[in-house]
Each structure stands twice: as structure tokens, then as C-alpha cells.
């Protein structure tokens, strides 16, 4: 059954989740800071949807998109510095139905919310979930289910959350969702009388993975699809607690003032779900 994206609260907060998106295949890519590109889907604009786009944005024809481009398979640079990934493909397709293109540039994950608030970025092609910190600050549009797992050295496995107690626990700078997961595990450790986690922060997934391989941390918390891709590509890495940490609705974000455009993207995604293009 097709499940449409529906608003669960007033615009400026979040829309509910739709189809679950699992891990995708691996693809090698090299990211380059500052590279910029624009792209649209092969599908044409939908006249019924383009009417929903605010006049000033329709006249401009393009949106400034931002992503970290270090998160396979969700957003990364393909050879030739081409913006690629699941979220990028979906947003380009949704924008094309609105008669728009997205001009992508690289923005560190921790800088995406401030960039949206200043409108240097008009749509964030990153995994951004509903949190108290984000709610009401930007418009959140969730269109798939996400979960987190732990990236660990090959041969390591945790049977439960508390097996991580007392270890060096890597997190991505600026990820409130993963910090909340870590805090929850830390509380379990304290309640069980075990040593607390030792938090260490990294600016990107690649930096966290390198720290695992160098033995500087014991695990790195991140999204399940990204960890699965990394493990497939590098046999010195493994995953544990796969998909067992904080299943949640997630998606993308737009500036808080872009309520009408958020509704237009919501309608565009629903149109792609109805035709099967989303799947």
C-alpha cells in the first residue's frame, strides 16, 4: 500500500515517515570541498505542482542545496565531483517536478542548520530528524525510516547496548540524534553500575572510520546504511547492533520561512509515491 507523506503538526515542524529505505549498493567516490553542481531529474515538471512554488522561487528557478557529501550511500561525490546518493537523487527528482533545479555545494553536517537559518542553504540534503533542537528552527520533511548502528573493528560484536560501557565512543559533531542515542546508552551504563562512555567527536563519517582503523576509538555511531556500505568496502571494519538503535522518521530540512515550498516538496514526494517513481 502506498503511504503518503502527511503533516503531523503545523508546518515548521515535521511530516510523518513514509516508505522504509534500506541499505543501497556501494559506489566509490572522492569528495572535494567546495565543488558545486546543479542537477535535475529526467522527469519533467508537473503543472499542478509548479503552481505550489512561491513566485519568487519559481522565478529564480534554482535552490541552493547543501550536504556534507561524505555519507555514502545517502550523499557523496561520485567521480567528476558529481553530487550523488539516495537523498540527492530523491531531492533532485522532487525538485524537477516543481520546475526547479538544486545547485549543490558542500557544507559540513554541523553547519547545515545555521546555513538554513541564514538561507545560505535553502534545502539540506542530509539526514535530519525531528529533535527538540531542530523542531521549530527549520522545516523538517521526513520521508523514510532510519536507524543507527555501531561501526567497530572487524571481529568485535556487542550483544547489547551496555557492552559498549566504558569504551571510547565516536560521534559526529552536530548530530543531535546520535548524541541522544549515546546519552541513552550512557544512562543504561550508569544504571547498571558500569563505567560511562567516553565521547569523542569527529567532523565526518570518514574521520570516524579512520579513527576506528587507527585504534583511537572502539566504536563509531552512525546511520545503518552508511555503516553497511563502509563494512562492505573495507574488511577491517565490522558493524554491530545493526539497526537496533533509535529507529526514527528522518529526511531533509528547509528554512523555517519556507513553509509553502516545504508543502510543495511534500506534494512532489507524494506524487512520486503515487506513480511508483519514489520506490
The C-alpha cell that represents 263 in the structure block: 508543502
Q: Do residues 263 and 191 share a domain?
A: no
Q: Indicate whether 9 belongs to any domain.
A: no
Q: Do residues 97 and 45 share a domain?
A: yes
Q: What is the pTM of this model?
A: 0.69
The C-alpha cell that represents 143 in the structure block: 520521508
Q: Do residues 125 and 236 share a domain?
A: no
- Split into its structural domains, the chain has a count of 2
Q: Do residues 29 and 132 share a domain?
A: yes
What's the rounded Cα separation, in Å, for the pair 103 and 15? Answer: 24
Q: Indicate whether 5 belongs to any domain.
A: no
Q: Indicate whether 7 belongs to any domain.
A: no
Q: Do residues 29 and 136 share a domain?
A: yes
Q: Do residues 41 and 141 share a domain?
A: yes
Q: Do residues 113 and 180 share a domain?
A: no
Span 201-220, pLDDT tens digits: 999 899 999 999 999 999 99
What's the rounded Cα separation, in Å, for the pair 24 and 26? Answer: 7
What's the rounded Cα separation, in Å, for the pair 34 and 50? Answer: 30
Q: Do residues 130 and 258 share a domain?
A: yes
Q: Indicate whether 171 belongs to any domain.
A: yes
Q: Indicate whether 60 belongs to any domain.
A: yes
Q: Do residues 96 and 155 share a domain?
A: no
* φ and ψ at residue 115, rounded to 5 degrees: -65, -35
Q: Do residues 23 and 112 share a domain?
A: yes
The C-alpha cell that represents 161 in the structure block: 547496548
According to the model, what pLDDT value does residue 4 have? Answer: 53
- In sequence order, what E strands does the chain have? 14-15, 36-39, 62-67, 70-71, 75-78, 82-84, 101-106, 123-129, 138-153, 168-172, 198-202, 219-223, 237-255
Q: Indicate whether 70 belongs to any domain.
A: yes
Q: Do residues 163 and 116 share a domain?
A: no
**Where is 274: in which H helix or E strand?**
helix 259-275
Q: Do residues 83 and 192 share a domain?
A: no
The two beta strands, 219-223 and 138-153, are: antiparallel
CA geometry: angle at 271 spanning 261 and 53, to 5°? Answer: 20
pLDDT by residue, tens only, the chain of 279 residues: 455 554 432 222 233 333 322 322 222 332 333 343 344 444 689 999 999 999 999 999 999 999 999 888 889 999 999 999 999 999 999 999 999 999 999 999 889 999 999 999 999 998 887 777 777 899 999 888 888 999 999 999 999 999 999 999 999 998 888 898 999 999 999 999 999 999 999 998 999 999 999 999 999 999 898 899 999 999 999 999 998 887 778 889 999 999 999 999 999 999 999 999 998
Question: Structural domain of residue 36, as residue ranges?
Answer: 14-145+249-275
Asked if 60 and 70 touch (Cβ cutoff 8 Å), the reply is: no
**Cα–Cα separations (whole angstroms), residue 225 to 62, 185, 205, 231:** 29, 21, 12, 10
According to the model, what pLDDT value does residue 11 have? Answer: 28
Span 232-263, pLDDT tens digits: 999 999 999 998 887 778 889 999 999 999 99
Q: Indicate whether 2 belongs to any domain.
A: no
Q: Indicate whether 46 belongs to any domain.
A: yes
What CATH number corresponds to the domain at position 201? 3.40.190.10
Amino acid at each position: 500500500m502506498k503511504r503518503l507523506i502527511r503533516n503531523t503538526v503545523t508546518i515548521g515542524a515535521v511530516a510523518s515517515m513514509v516508505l522504509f529505505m534500506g541499505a543501497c549498493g556501494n559506489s566509490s567516490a572522492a569528495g572535494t570541498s567546495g565543488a558545486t553542481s546543479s542537477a535535475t531529474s529526467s522527469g519533467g515538471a508537473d503543472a499542478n505542482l509548479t503552481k505550489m512554488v512561491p513566485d519568487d522561487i519559481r522565478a529564480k528557478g534554482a535552490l541552493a542545496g547543501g550536504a556534507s557529501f561524505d555519507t555514502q550511500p545517502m550523499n557523496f561525490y561520485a567521480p567528476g565531483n558529481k553530487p550523488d546518493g539516495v537523498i540527492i537523487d530523491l531531492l533532485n527528482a522532487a525538485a524537477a517536478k516543481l520546475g526547479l533545479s538544486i545547485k549543490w555545494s558542500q557544507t559540513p553536517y554541523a553547519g547545515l542548520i545555521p546555513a538554513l537559518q541564514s538561507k545560505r542553504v535553502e534545502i539540506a540534503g542530509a539526514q535530519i530528524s525531528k529533535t527538540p533542537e531542530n523542531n521549530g528552527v527549520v522545516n523538517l520533511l521526513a520521508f523514510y525510516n532510519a536507524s543507527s548502528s555501531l561501526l567497530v573493528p572487524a571481529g568485535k560484536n556487542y550483544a547489547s547496548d551496555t557492552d559498549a560501557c566504558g569504551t571510547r565512543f565516536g560521534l559526529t559533531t552536530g548530530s543531535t540524534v546520535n548524541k541522544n542515542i549515546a546519552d541513552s546508552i550512557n544512562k543504561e551504563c550508569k544504571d547498571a553500575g558500569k563505567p560511562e562512555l567516553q565521547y569523542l567527536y569527529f567532523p565526518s563519517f570518514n574521520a570516524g572510520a579512520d579513527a576506528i582503523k587507527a585504534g583511537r576509538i572502539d566504536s563509531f555511531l552512525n546511520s545503518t546504511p552508511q555503516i553497511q556500505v563502509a563494512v562492505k568496502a573495507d574488511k577491517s571494519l565490522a558493524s554491530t547492533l545493526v539497526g537496533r538503535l533509535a529507529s526514527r522518521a528522518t529526511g531533509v530540512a528547509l528554512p523555517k520561512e519556507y513553509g509553502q515550498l516545504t508543502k510543495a516538496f511534500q506534494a512532489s514526494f507524494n506524487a512520486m509515491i503515487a506513480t511508483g517513481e519514489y520506490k
